[in-house]
Structure 1
Amino acid sequence: MSSPASGHLTDISGLSSSLGVPLDGELYELALTHRSFAYEHGGIAHNERLEFLGDAVLGQAVTVMLYRNNPSLDEGDLAKRRASVVSTLALAEVARSIGLGKYIRLGNGEELTGGRNKDSILADTVEALFGATYLTAGPDVANDLVLRVIEPLLDNPERFGASMDPKTSLQEISAKLGAAVPVYSVEAAGPDHARIFTATVTVGALITASGTGTSKKHAEMAAALSAWNTLSEST
């Protein structure tokens, strides 16, 4: 099959299998088309309208699920949990778990600057897929898809705080383990208009983890969340 960069959608059978829904037709091609690709191919349609719809589908599915499953939580706690599950970091984690990056149609500029691993692009594309599923298969199938892919994020209640503020959460678990304060270093690559930041965090002799993002802050948060996930699994 052709690569995404050639102008034709690559074989998405693997993605369809990962999501558990049939991905065919123009809507899914649109859902996987980033605006950088559209710009470089004559201003064709891209996925931002589907992303807008998918954001609403995601929000409703998560809100109803949290409300029903947590009768003892007040509005504030429900809001915090929802925010953590629908955050860019959380959705990017979902995207990586299903290997979404390789299916996205990107422009050459984004391709050269690591766009397939950018949290924002991954998260936006996940939302666009939710929107495409809603229009193609209906609200029930879209709702089921949302809940199925975010379920792994709900397995560990402690991750709610970590997703909201991973740097603070990493510092807290480091202190709990008697380790040194996390130390961050950040490198940047790419042109000024499309910089990619890679952060590395070291927690004494316990762990070193990395993360990328479109800003220094996002890269550090991604690195911190990666380190926190590893440390929390070992404690």
Structure 2
Amino acid sequence: MHRVVIAILTATLLGACVHREVLVPSDRLSVVETNGVMPAPSREDLTAGDRPALIGPLDTIVVDVFNVPDLSRELQVDASGRIAMPLVGTLDARGKTASELGEAVEAALRGRYVRNPEVTVNIKSSVSQVVTVDGQVVEPGLYPVTNQMTLMRAIASAKGLSEFARQEDVVILRTVSGRKMAGLYNIAAIRRGAYDDPPIYANDMIVVGDSPERRLFRDVVSLAPLLAAPLIAVLQ
């Protein structure tokens, strides 16, 4: 009986072991030998593609009106996405880039109050440009989205995958033109360079799946000493 239990335990443990796949060169991936030196990235490689940061409700912005310090100030966008400034009135800031909002402030000031106004707007902090990371990560939660945010970076922001994460079952949920969309990704394949690390955008939701096999592996390992102890005693 005990031999049968040991055989089952062994088969389960072997089946649950993670096999590290060898990196294979392809048209998308160049593999450098361990004694080789990887080339340095070019300037273009270090620059993120154009992904405009949009202003949203409760974001904090800084408005600077050149040569008019009384109008320059730090503002918080209200819950409806609007800001209010002296001489300008109320403007809708939601969904605008910093430069677009600056142009709107200039248009409100031009002619009536300030001759040839020059306005600069900067986003100081954003609570609207966030991604939700949920499921089997160490610290699920909301994380700010930057120009260079990708799936792997978002998971790293959540302190990485948890013990029971299923690497081949990672879903990105996104709304595109009012339509809900879902993409299934394999973290292990991304790590191997099989395909690019996908970009992440504001309001995306990342859900990392659960691995029953990993849970079984932990349970078997914790039970193994208890099951093996009577057998050892009998053999002695």
Task: Specify if TM > 0.5.
Answer: no
Structure showing the higher strand proportion among its residues: 2
Query: TM-score under structure 1 normalisation?
Result: 0.20
Larger proportion of helix = 1
